Amino acid sequence: MGEELKIIVKKEDRAFFHNHVDYCIGTGRMGLALTKEYQEQLKLVQAEIGFKHIRGHGLFCDDMAIYQETEDGDAEYNFTYLDRVMDSYRELGLKPFLELGFMPGKMARGEQTIFYWKGNTTPPASYEAWEDLVKATLEHLCGRYGREEVVSWPVEVWNEPNLPGFWEHADMQEYFKLFRRTIAAVKEVDGRFRVGGPAVCGGSDEVWIQAFLEYCRDNGVEPDFITRHHYTTGLPEYVGHYGYPELMEAEEGFANLHTTREIIDSFPAYRGKEIHITEFNTSYIPNAPLHDSCRNAAYIAHQLSKLGDDNASYSYWTFGDVFEEQGVPFTPFHGGFGLVADGCIPKPTFWSFVFFKRLKEKKGHCILRDGSAVVMRLEDGSYRGVAWNYTVGRKGESCLLMLEMKEEGEGCLLTETVDEEHGNPLKVWHDLGEPAHLTEQERKILRSAARPFVETRRVGPEGGNAGASFPVRENAVVYFEWRPGGIVSDRGYSYGRAVQ
Amino acid sequence: MGEELKIIVKKEDRAFFHNHVDYCIGTGRMGLALTKEYQEQLKLVQAEIGFKHIRGHGLFCDDMAIYQETEDGDAEYNFTYLDRVMDSYRELGLKPFLELGFMPGKMARGEQTIFYWKGNTTPPASYEAWEDLVKATLEHLCGRYGREEVVSWPVEVWNEPNLPGFWEHADMQEYFKLFRRTIAAVKEVDGRFRVGGPAVCGGSDEVWIQAFLEYCRDNGVEPDFITRHHYTTGLPEYVGHYGYPELMEAEEGFANLHTTREIIDSFPAYRGKEIHITEFNTSYIPNAPLHDSCRNAAYIAHQLSKLGDDNASYSYWTFGDVFEEQGVPFTPFHGGFGLVADGCIPKPTFWSFVFFKRLKEKKGHCILRDGSAVVMRLEDGSYRGVAWNYTVGRKGESCLLMLEMKEEGEGCLLTETVDEEHGNPLKVWHDLGEPAHLTEQERKILRSAARPFVETRRVGPEGGNAGASFPVRENAVVYFEWRPGGIVSDRGYSYGRAVQ
Amino acid sequence: MGEELKIIVKKEDRAFFHNHVDYCIGTGRMGLALTKEYQEQLKLVQAEIGFKHIRGHGLFCDDMAIYQETEDGDAEYNFTYLDRVMDSYRELGLKPFLELGFMPGKMARGEQTIFYWKGNTTPPASYEAWEDLVKATLEHLCGRYGREEVVSWPVEVWNEPNLPGFWEHADMQEYFKLFRRTIAAVKEVDGRFRVGGPAVCGGSDEVWIQAFLEYCRDNGVEPDFITRHHYTTGLPEYVGHYGYPELMEAEEGFANLHTTREIIDSFPAYRGKEIHITEFNTSYIPNAPLHDSCRNAAYIAHQLSKLGDDNASYSYWTFGDVFEEQGVPFTPFHGGFGLVADGCIPKPTFWSFVFFKRLKEKKGHCILRDGSAVVMRLEDGSYRGVAWNYTVGRKGESCLLMLEMKEEGEGCLLTETVDEEHGNPLKVWHDLGEPAHLTEQERKILRSAARPFVETRRVGPEGGNAGASFPVRENAVVYFEWRPGGIVSDRGYSYGRAVQ
Amino acid sequence: MGEELKIIVKKEDRAFFHNHVDYCIGTGRMGLALTKEYQEQLKLVQAEIGFKHIRGHGLFCDDMAIYQETEDGDAEYNFTYLDRVMDSYRELGLKPFLELGFMPGKMARGEQTIFYWKGNTTPPASYEAWEDLVKATLEHLCGRYGREEVVSWPVEVWNEPNLPGFWEHADMQEYFKLFRRTIAAVKEVDGRFRVGGPAVCGGSDEVWIQAFLEYCRDNGVEPDFITRHHYTTGLPEYVGHYGYPELMEAEEGFANLHTTREIIDSFPAYRGKEIHITEFNTSYIPNAPLHDSCRNAAYIAHQLSKLGDDNASYSYWTFGDVFEEQGVPFTPFHGGFGLVADGCIPKPTFWSFVFFKRLKEKKGHCILRDGSAVVMRLEDGSYRGVAWNYTVGRKGESCLLMLEMKEEGEGCLLTETVDEEHGNPLKVWHDLGEPAHLTEQERKILRSAARPFVETRRVGPEGGNAGASFPVRENAVVYFEWRPGGIVSDRGYSYGRAVQ
């Protein structure tokens, strides 16, 4: 045990903490939502976490088969797969956060594609045809799911146009045109739709967001919110099928995010406009073994404690590992973006989300937030918190989290721990020999090993104070809950004699 | 860490071990099989363990409603509930081990009843009526489930007639008559039925079994197998709703069982006749908190390693806690007999059965058995074992189990641990304040806490020998499995870099 | 085809129709809710119909085990089974309509019991003990399910005290005392509880209700609503296990119900007070083969069209056939009260409820109600209706229902028919030889045969009017729905060529 | 009613009938097996019919991602999706009938592709690379599913090489080379694999099969069985998204099939060699509305009665409508090949398979087969049969099927009917307006309407003979079952009084 992390809980404390952990989650391209493994992973995610929105690429890609042409070249729209996907989301309690893109092959101006699955990333040959597609799609959705419902689905225009791979030549003016034409088309369907952009990735975001807002201001375009992405690793080193990036200091990233806030607020008309981080994760590649680790979970826990400061939402990229941007993975633990590995095995980061979601389940307020923990006091007199241990450059250290709950009486402390030895299927998979193809028994072992370690203890007033401590090992994420109340034994029952 | 338990595994070793862990399981009275909670507990048991037979009381009790009378006093049989129960067993892959009893109220000679649920424990007013009932029931079962199938269900006559509560006055001659009349009736339906008795509880068993066999020998009665029970605690001390007994030395019990074997073998005609222990557990009361503890699990693990020495089967009493002999329990952890607590929460002893069942799943042979462990070598080159730490009067000691696998190469050691801190919902329930009525959240916590701790490690050749050690704490039961083989990493994958 | 039943639908018509079809459903004694078959039948009922409340006997009967006594004779309450039952109801979206009764054996003044399951029907030995039981039970429910929720559960005091079997000597003054003490106890727990009585069966109801209201008025007792029962057959003729009653003219029953309304309204203080029919059915015996027939379904459809005229609710007795008042049934179709036969087979009357429920699913208003049909016009421009053909003494006649929808355009007429040949498992079961014990294949056949016949047809404007007709055979219940709109064929699709 | 179809059942009759209805079923390309809708349709098919094998295209197509190349151009195999698909088949009790094809893009000699999903249909650039792929795939399957199991999966080489779309230039010699190299590679993995070809479609089959067998004979190639396809319509007329073909006389098709038998038998070495029809259906296009009709069901019923005469199996193309050869369908009833329409709605032809499967469920023998019916007598004394009414050029006629069961006593006749008005969701969908996007209510209606009409009647001895008749309307398929035995009523039960 190294450093001691002492948390003194005082009822009357108040801390600033906006918890939007469950607003939105990312997904690989929409066409994959037709698959069974995808749906099973998403079902698990919804059962244990329960997100409100889902956002991903590929709404208009060819595998969704929306845009078709007759023998005479006239457009005809096919919503068979769109309905199937949307039905499945709604069955799981999810609303889409619609990303309009990429370009149907037959409508595209060029032939540039991105990814293994070949999404066309060029502008439309005809903006009228694009507008028709957007309007027809939204009208269809309104018809099927109810207009009142569908206008509550946020709409984003395209993805990362500041990268030439995602938008030919990263042509800024062309994107602004696309945005202007698209927002107009969407509002034509229903003025209540909320539409945002420019969905840029980090790095050059300042330039783009500044220019985007100037364009909007100068052209009478009124975005309803601003979107950007947030990844926190450097360039990976590639070896074989995998890439190994370095994590950056979290503060660097938060500072970068804050500049976006400042740029927006520098425009009087846009001051306070919502920012939605429509993608975030540590690494931006779908084959970074880092994603499957406890280290990732601890780092993301820290992110979840802070991202609400400046942003209305932040959508982890992605919920699961059914994802084909770099092809089909060779093994279940291949460093995919997902919270869940193939075979429906939760990764450590899954629990970071579960734990932060629990902080919202009941009414309460935050009494403490620092770089290693968040603690809520609930109206029913209980406490809930999450602690994590991630420190770049201080590897090997452990913390001991001490709760001192002055003025509280007897209670039960529940902890759920994810660390190297608990809730860490990656290690078990490695120890099993890194099998590429799991047997049924191995899948069962991995699923069992992927659950946090649940522990309870009685916490009583000692010298007038209630208090407890528990370790938060390196890269651990620990959920804790203190429930007030003494033991009420049934007549004649003695736990001591039961276990003597 | 106290004593060190060193197991040296040698491929060529052989040990005597008969593993009948899954032959039969006990159940409270049959009428309770109509309930949903019962079926859910049994479904869990069958999914994780998978017993072949199930035996319990109350086939002919009034709540099963089989025996009816017309306005004129003629018998009519109602098999509505019987079918419902039998259908449910078969859906879960279970065959009954039929216990014929107790007496339908309208057929009974007297009014003595037993238990909260008032099973009549007197002889039939008319043996002809009893024979008719037995025959009609078996004929009905043959008609519904197929004669070939039903004759494979063992039949036992009554339960613990050597106790006056279970059989009026514990009248030995009357029981012998019952047995003689019943076996004849059963064989009349089909000579292939296998019928046994006298189902005595321990204590006076020597006297009864001796007398029973003499009676059989002298009266031309041919039982197909002998049955008795096996409980291993002394008289409990009662406080309020609960009883607290002392565990006896396991060897005392084994010795007592062996006398049964010797008595039987002393009859030339019955030498080698199968013994079925149709009930066993530590305590014989359904409100002994001991049953819910790890201590019980470790004690039972030891039993499972030895009971096959003299006996063809041994049926743990009971699979679940839907059981009303002393009334309805006030709390989920009330010391019931079950492997599963109400709310479908596995108790530690559940895992003793899971672990011993795994020893049978694949072909192999036993290479080691001692008072703390059993180890199998499987044909696929892997090893599986169970270790436990139960020693009366040496509380507080821990063991370190060391495996030395000479001549074996690299592999993975998997352990699944149940002890004080793992797989022990009783402690968690206690810490939560011993809630009588579980909330949904509490049930979820308890179910999570009821799973064993799954751990893996790489085991490599060190100095020419493969070896590994792991702790077996007080009252722990640990399953371990060694799987041969090295790590085969996908191209470019480095676990070390993933978790750096 | 006999008589022609012509319904001319006019958009602007309005008819009086209060549809409380789904407010409440009856159930056999609460202890049976622990069984699996009960829960499966109830699940089916909730999935297809969806009731809001459930009411049945036996909350305080011994099998629920709520009232217990210590060795010293002190009361202690056991809510283990109560929670299990209530949890199961809530899982299916049901709130209880609590009937307080019968008397725990240990609390009872006398030994009189009713039914196979021996409910004690005598007053409490101590009214204080009774009040304590009532209060403890309600407090427990408030604690577990939330006070706000539980006070929305209506409470009724006892069942049919005007029958000496249900209340010793049918002692009116003793019942009034019970009511006064009980309502006071309930209101002490929370003044928002709504409490009613006297739960009388028909026949002597006028006397009892008059006297009850006088007592209340004179003693400052303020019931929140009045309850009574409603059965519509005469005395059955009994043969063997069954009883065969005659159906009465429906109008007789409605007239009798209306007198209750008039009696209440004759008390200025109680004018307009809600009446809840907490039980209704055709026959009042659980072994009347009539219950399983189409005739019953048609008769009940008529009831459902009228009972809302004077009453706030009417609870069909019962949802399913897990019910033991006269013992355990010998066959699946034994004339039980249930909408569902054992084996989860819907009876014809099940569909009467499904069909009336559909009339409420979307917003609309009633445009026609007569003795054979109810028709709603929905806000979306469609029509839904139920027609039935039940006429005492005019057996053998068929109707042809003609819809004339003036001013409506093209559309689709959907009918779902239950009659002799469709949705009638009783006939199929009879034809199969009346098997007492269903094989899996027979159960499957019966479930298939128990579904209504679904038929569609195009209805176009003919001579300016849209119209359609369909037969409503003797004892039939037919759901019909007219949906506006033409056929929109996909490009190139021709149904005519598909089926040429 | 037109023609009367009289079937006189005589116990002692015998008829020739080989029923291989459930040996194999077709599927669209294997990659679609990853989707949820596909799996749900297949689950329904397996639950109600239960096929043994499944065969489809696309094992080696790029979406299965098996063949990969490293940065250096070396082959590496990815079995992630293959395992997922095979696991799903095995979960549903299916074994693959492996079709080896088409060509991975990176391994192909040319760029010709087929279908919307672009299967490459050119020979391998390197036959060594192809052999390696085949061997690696089979070895992987043996490793995962067990060698004993996998060698029981039949293997077929490519698909319809006699069509230039499926095999570049329909190059016969190149196919023979492919066959020779492939069978050798497969046998190298395990000599027990059974391998067949040439998988030709009808039409030119005589030429190809003759030449194939000559090639085999002359080159020492020993195929284990011969495969071909069987479609029974002419060229369709195309309109918009659909095609409308004419059905041919069934006898023409059977005659064509018989020539294959004769060609094979003309080779002394191949006499009696098994023929597997690895695809059959009426039309060979996936957008023929005919497929969804009752007419198709009746025609296929006739096929099922005869195809076993010359062939070891016949695999209907396909089980479901998740199929993309001509793109994504615009509506649920688009004339796909499937037994099941999108939305898990069984089509009439589904029931032809269900009914023929029932003829095999119990032991028995065929006593009658003619052009309109097959009748089995089972060992338990019951009869089962299927009747259909399909006659080209005699539209509008109905049949009355009369059973005369001389020497049989009383019994129950069960019929399940699929015709225009029953089990015909196509008509209902049409009447509903041909909705392209089903609402939940519409899906429910269609599923209900897709079930056969179940009817029973008592059949008694009349004038010494048992007999019954029932209509078989135009395009109907009717399952019938006669079960011997009288009615055994429970004491006091009277059906007559129940329904009076």
Residues written for chain C:
500
Residues 6+ apart with CB under 8 A from A28: A38, A56, A57, A58, A318, A320, A322, A323, A324, A325
Does the fold of domain D24-358 match that of domain D4-14+364-498?
Answer: no
What percentage of chain D has pLDDT greater than the value 90?
Answer: 88
Tally Cβ neighbours within 10 Å of residue D484. Answer: 17
The per-residue pLDDT for range D60-96, each reduced to its tens digit, is: 999 999 999 999 999 999 999 999 999 999 999 999 9
- Range from B197-211, B234-248, C85-99 carrying the lowest mean pLDDT: B197-211
- Rounded mean pLDDT of D260-267? 96
Domain D4-14+364-498 indexed as CATH 2.60.40.1500: yes
- Give the model's confidence band at C406: pLDDT under 50 very low, under 70 low, under 90 confident, else very high: low
Residues written for chain D:
500
Using a CB–CB cutoff of 8 Å, tell me whether B498 touches chain A. Answer: yes
Distance (Å, whole) CA A261 – CA A209: 10
* Nearest by CB: A331 against B434, B451, B490: B490
Q: What is the DSSP string of D346-400?
A: E-HHHHHHHHHHHTTSSSEEEEEEETTEEEEEETTS-EEEEEE---TT-TT--EE
Q: Residue A323 has what DSSP assignment?
A: -
The answer to whether D38 touches D11, Cβ cutoff 8 Å, is: no
Candidates D230, D166, D170, D243; CA nearest to D203 is D230
CA angle C379, C384, C388 (to 5 degrees): 155
| Whether A432 and B412 lie within 8 Å, measured CB to CB | yes
- Give the model's confidence band at C459: pLDDT under 50 very low, under 70 low, under 90 confident, else very high: confident
Higher per-residue confidence, D402 vs D92: D92
Name every chain D residue with its beta carbon within 8 A of the beta carbon of A75.
Answer: none
Q: What is the DSSP string of A89-103?
A: HHHTT-EE-EEE--B
How many angstroms separate the Cα of C401 from the Cα of each of C242, C478, D221, D277?
Answer: 36, 10, 72, 52
Strand ranges across the sheet with B465-472: B4-9, B399-406, B465-472, B461-462
Distance (Å, whole) CA B247 – CA B245: 7
Using a CB–CB cutoff of 8 Å, tell me whether B80 touches chain D. Answer: no
The answer to whether C399 touches C4, Cβ cutoff 8 Å, is: yes
Report whether the peptide linkage leading into residue B318 is cis, meaning its omega lies within 30 degrees of zero: yes
Amino acid at A325: E
Which position has the token pair 């957007």? Answer: A134
Using a CB–CB cutoff of 8 Å, tell me whether D436 touches chain A. Answer: yes
Amino acid at A279: E
Using a CB–CB cutoff of 8 Å, tell me whether B453 touches chain A. Answer: yes
The per-residue pLDDT for range C48-73, each reduced to its tens digit, is: 999 999 999 999 999 999 999 999 99
Question: Residue C88 is encoded by which pair of tokens?
Answer: 């199961």
Name every chain A residue with its beta carbon within 8 A of the beta carbon of D81.
Answer: 328
Tally Cβ neighbours within 10 Å of residue D268. Answer: 7
Can you give the pLDDT at residue B2? 47
The answer to whether C44 touches C340, Cβ cutoff 8 Å, is: yes
SS (H, E, C) D170-228: HCHHHHHHHHHHHHHHHHHHCCCCCEEEEEECCCCHHHHHHHHHHHHHHHCCCCCEEEE
Q: List chain A residues with pLDDT less than 70.
A: 1-5, 204, 391-398, 405-407, 462-466
Q: What is the DSSP string of D429-458?
A: HHHTT--SS--HHHHHHHHHHTSPEEEEEE
The answer to whether D262 touches D207, Cβ cutoff 8 Å, is: no
Which residues partner with D316 through β-bridges?
D25, D280
- D5 pLDDT more than 70: no
Which A-chain residues 300-339 have CB contacts (< 8 A) with chain B? 330-331, 334-335
Q: Which residue of D lies nearest to B492 if distances are taken between CA atoms?
A: D70
Q: Which residue of B lies nearest to C437 if distances are taken between CA atoms?
A: B80
Which residues partner with B483 through β-bridges?
B412
Can you give the pLDDT at residue A479? 97
3 state DSSP class of B61 = coil
Return mean pLDDT, chain B.
94
The answer to whether A23 touches A376, Cβ cutoff 8 Å, is: no
Distance (Å, whole) CA B453 – CA B433: 23
| Whether C239 and D294 lie within 8 Å, measured CB to CB | no
- Give the model's confidence band at C470: pLDDT under 50 very low, under 70 low, under 90 confident, else very high: confident
Report whether the peptide linkage leading into residue A318 is cis, meaning its omega lies within 30 degrees of zero: yes
Cα dihedral D253→D257→D263→D265 (10° resolution): -140
3 state DSSP class of B57 = coil
Distance (Å, whole) CA C203 – CA C260: 11
Q: CA Rg, chain B, in Å? A: 24
Q: Where are the domains of chain A?
A: 4-14+364-498, 24-358
- Give the model's confidence band at C396: pLDDT under 50 very low, under 70 low, under 90 confident, else very high: low
Using a CB–CB cutoff of 8 Å, tell me whether A234 touches chain D. Answer: no
Residues 6+ apart with CB under 8 A from A31: A58, A61, A63, A64, A81, A85, A117
Using a CB–CB cutoff of 8 Å, tell me whether A234 touches chain B. Answer: no
Can you give the pLDDT at residue D1? 37
Burial bucket for residue D376 (CB in 10 Å: 0-12, 13-18, 19+):
buried
Can you give the pLDDT at residue B193? 98
Question: Residue A226 is encoded by which pair of tokens?
Answer: 């601003």
Catalytic residue among B99, B156, B160, B408: B160
- Rounded mean pLDDT of B327-341? 98
Catalytic residue among D160, D168, D416, D474: D160
Name every chain C residue with its beta carbon within 8 A of the beta carbon of D491.
Answer: 240-241, 330
Cα dihedral C327→C328→C331→C337 (10° resolution): 70
The answer to whether B94 touches B86, Cβ cutoff 8 Å, is: no
- In Å, how far from its chain's centre is CA D97? 13
Domain C24-358 indexed as CATH 3.40.50.1970: no
A113-133 core/surface letters (b: 16 or more CB in 10 A; e: else) = bbbebebbbbbbeeeeebbbb
- In Å, how far from its chain's centre is CA B246? 20
What percentage of chain C has pLDDT greater than the value 90?
Answer: 88
| Whether D493 and C293 lie within 8 Å, measured CB to CB | no
Can you give the pLDDT at residue A1? 37
- D56 pLDDT more than 50: yes
Angle subtended by helix axes A36-48 and D36-48, to nearest 10: 100
ipTM greater than cut 0.90: yes
Catalytic residue among A99, A156, A168, A279: A279
- Rounded mean pLDDT of C280-286? 97
Catalytic residue among D168, D279, D408, D474: D279
Q: Which residue of B lies nearest to C81 if distances are taken between CA atoms?
A: B328
Q: What are phi and psi of D452, to 5 degrees?
A: -65, 160
Calculate how close chain D gets to C197, using CA atoms only, in Å: 34
The per-residue pLDDT for range C350-368, each reduced to its tens digit, is: 999 999 999 999 999 999 9
- B392 pLDDT more than 60: no
Which position has the token pair 């009759």? Answer: D13
Can you give the pLDDT at residue C332? 97
Which position has the token pair 């809630």? Answer: B435
Question: Residue D183 is encoded by which pair of tokens?
Answer: 């069978």
Angle subtended by helix axes B36-48 and B348-361, to nearest 10: 40
The answer to whether B385 touches B360, Cβ cutoff 8 Å, is: no
Can you give the pLDDT at residue D475? 93
Strand ranges across the sheet with A155-157: A95-96, A53-56, A24-27, A313-316, A275-281, A225-231, A195-200, A155-157, A98-100
- B19 pLDDT more than 70: yes
Q: Are strands D195-200 and B4-9 parallel, antiparallel or unpaired?
A: unpaired
- D396 pLDDT more than 70: no
Candidates C351, C401, C340; CA nearest to C372 is C401
- D436 pLDDT more than 70: yes
Query: What's the number of CA atoms in the CB half-sphere (13 Å) around residue D421?
Result: 11
Distance (Å, whole) CA C129 – CA C38: 32
- C242 pLDDT more than 70: yes
- Give the model's confidence band at D231: pLDDT under 50 very low, under 70 low, under 90 confident, else very high: very high
What percentage of chain B has pLDDT greater than the value 90?
Answer: 88
How many angstroms separate the Cα of A280 from the Cα of each of A85, A199, A313, C288, C467?
Answer: 23, 12, 10, 67, 60
Can you give the pLDDT at residue D465? 60
The answer to whether C424 touches C294, Cβ cutoff 8 Å, is: yes
Which position has the token pair 């807002």? Answer: A213
Distance (Å, whole) CA A125 – CA C118: 82
- Rounded mean pLDDT of C399-408? 70
Report whether the peptide linkage leading into residue C102 is cis, meaning its omega lies within 30 degrees of zero: yes
